[in-house]
Amino acid sequence: MRLSGFDIDHFLRHHWQKAPLLIRNPWGDWHNPLEPDELAGLACDENVESRLVIGADAARKMENGPFPESRFGKLGTGPWTLLVQAVDHHVPDIADLIEPFRFVPDWRIDDVMVSYATDGGGVGSHYDQYDVFLVQGLGRRRWRVGPRCDAQTPLLPHTDLRLIADFEAADEWVLEPGDILYVPPGFAHDGVAVGDDCMTYSVGFRAPSRAELVEGWSEHQAERMAEDDRYADPDLVQQAQPGEITPAALDRLHGLVTDALSDRAAFARWFGEYNSLPKYDSDWRPEQPVGAQAVAAQLAQGVPLVRNPAARFAFIRQGDGALVLFADGQSFDCAGDTAVLAEQLCAGRSVTVDHPASEAVLTLIAALIDQGSLAFDDEDD
């Protein structure tokens, strides 16, 4: 699946995190990949995050799922919107929507949220802290995009929704099926369904905040420090004012902190594990651990491996062909044929491994299956 006529380099230079962009149907023959009834069914699942936004303007009310099937029959004729997170984890055709946007690194990808709205439905004028491609799947939606916002932008008083108080649109478009609107982080936007049966697919990206990184990395390092690793001043001399914290003491204290946090290699491994933690549970772990022999038997039959749709894979090169593979919060040191396999696993959702495979490859595959990141795509199983 590709975006016809879409210049990736031009987009990255002039629009990515800089300015919104309307992309009129670049798919050619667009087909809506999910029916509204299927989306409603997902919203009834207790393992799926979903929300209902009912009403318009500041009178909107939000409900959190899962919802009983009967809820949708009681919504009436007024405007409402159903939003379901991470639909790509449950529907392969939705996961395919991510592929054209993989010019952005995988570690930045969050998920695909799908919304369904009746005429006039929407979540209101707001801004997000992440990049998003809004793909119109079914029906029509009017999008208005305003200026860049920040923490000082006035918001309406609302318990659940962060609605902009004085939204003024700079641009406005009506999106038809297949059209895409890119909105960078911080830009105000407001989408309203024009007619019923309006479905929008939001391919969202994530960016860790500085506060998240500092907190997570600091806690990680602190947990690994010995109790007796403390401030020391064996060269202490008498000072004129006992109440002063001297520059020399501050240098020592500051050094204790900065030295503990400056290990780039340790940070890289921590970040790979932290960033690959799955956002939602999708338990593919087998009832019993698989062994290398069972893995070899499947490979000998040519059975392909498939990634858990909820799993997150990434890698960091180490030099000399070696790399560290990250999968669902775990790290695996790879070299030689395991490094080749790691890159294949990160490149696509399915891979067929040549047999016979080395013991190292069998061990890596078994570990990934045991933690629920991979499975054999055995249709007869």
The CA distance from 307 to 313, in Å, is: 9
- The residue-averaged pLDDT of 121-131 equals 96
* Residue 250: other Cβ atoms inside 10 A: 10
| pLDDT at residue 156 in the model | 92
Does residue 205 have a pLDDT over 80?
A: yes
Give the residue with greater pLDDT, 257 vs 279: 257
- The residue-averaged pLDDT of 62-70 equals 96
- 329-351 confidence digits (pLDDT tens): 999 999 999 999 999 999 999 99
CATH number, span 292-376? 3.40.366.30
The average confidence (pLDDT) of the chain is 95
3 state DSSP class of 113: strand
- The residue-averaged pLDDT of 111-121 equals 97
Query: CA of 356: how far to CAs of 118, 138, 293, in Å?
Result: 55, 47, 11
- 144-171 confidence digits (pLDDT tens): 999 999 999 999 998 899 999 999 999 9
Q: Which pLDDT band, with edges at 50, 70 and 90, does 106 fall under?
A: very high
- The residue-averaged pLDDT of 66-76 equals 93
Does residue 279 have a pLDDT over 80?
A: yes
The distance from CA 168 to its chain's CA centroid, rounded to whole angstroms, is: 29
Does residue 381 have a pLDDT over 50?
A: no
What's the CATH fold of domain 8-205?
Answer: Jelly Rolls (2.60.120)
Q: Are 153 and 204 in contact (CB under 8 A)?
A: no
Q: Are 201 and 91 in contact (CB under 8 A)?
A: no
Does residue 46 have a pLDDT over 80?
A: yes
Does residue 58 have a pLDDT over 80?
A: no
* Residue 298: other Cβ atoms inside 10 A: 20
Go through 355-378 and write b for each residue having 16 or more CB atoms within 10 A of its CB, e for each that does not.
Answer: bebeebbbbbbbbbbbbbbbbbee
Domain ranges (residues) in the chain = 8-205, 209-224+247-262, 292-376
Query: CA of 241: how far to CAs of 52, 238, 253, 294, in Å?
Result: 64, 9, 19, 73
| pLDDT at residue 315 in the model | 98
Does residue 380 have a pLDDT over 90?
A: no
